Amino acid sequence: MKVVHLETGRHLYGGARQVSYLLDGLANTHVESVLVCRPGAEIAKAVLPSTRVIEVPLRGDLDLSARRRLRRILREEHADALHVHSRGGADLIGGQAARAQGVRSVLTRRVDNVEPRLWARHKFRQYDVVAAISVPIATWLTETVGLPPTRVRHIASAVDQAGFVSRARARETLRQRFGVDLERPLIGLAGQLITRKGYDVFLAALPGLVREFPAIQALIFGRGPEAAALQRQAAAAGLADYVKLVGFEPGLQPVMAGFDLFVHPARSEGLGVAVLEALVCGVPVIASRAGGIVDIVKDGATGVLVEPNNAAALASALFDALGQMERMRRYGSAGQAAILASNNVAAMTTAYLHLYESLAEQAQLVH
Grade residue 157 by pLDDT with cuts at 50, 70 and 90. very high
250: cis peptide before it, omega within 30°?
Answer: no
CA torsion angle 6 9 11 17 (round to 10): -50
Question: CATH topology of 2-158+344-366 equal to that of 161-342?
Answer: yes
Give Dmax over CA atoms of the chain in angstroms: 70
Domain spans, the chain: 2-158+344-366, 161-342
Q: Kindly report, residue by residue over 311-340, the tens digit of the pLDDT.
A: 999 999 999 999 999 999 999 999 999 999
- 271, 275, 276, 278 alpha-carbon torsion, rounded to 10°: 180
| Rounded Cα–Cα distance for residues 306 and 318 (Å) | 10
Query: Which numeric CATH code is attached to 161-342?
Result: 3.40.50.2000
Nearest C-alpha neighbor of 41 from the set 28, 51, 54: 54
Question: Is the alpha carbon torsion for 143, 144, 149, 153 positive or negative?
Answer: negative
Task: Give the pLDDT score at 367.
Answer: 47
pTM above threshold 0.95: no
288 backbone dihedrals φ, ψ, rounded to 5°: -75, 150
Q: Which CATH class is domain 2-158+344-366?
A: alpha beta
pLDDT at 103: 96
52-55, strands of its sheet edge to edge: 52-55, 32-37, 2-6, 81-84, 104-109, 129-132, 152-154
> What tens digit of pLDDT does each residue of 96-120 get?
999 999 999 999 999 888 888 998 9
Binned at pLDDT 50, 70 and 90, residue 12 comes out as confident
Predicted pLDDT of residue 115: 86
Residues 6+ apart with CB under 8 A from 337: none
Length of the chain as a residue count: 367
| Span 60-92, pLDDT tens digits | 656 678 889 999 999 999 999 999 997 777 888
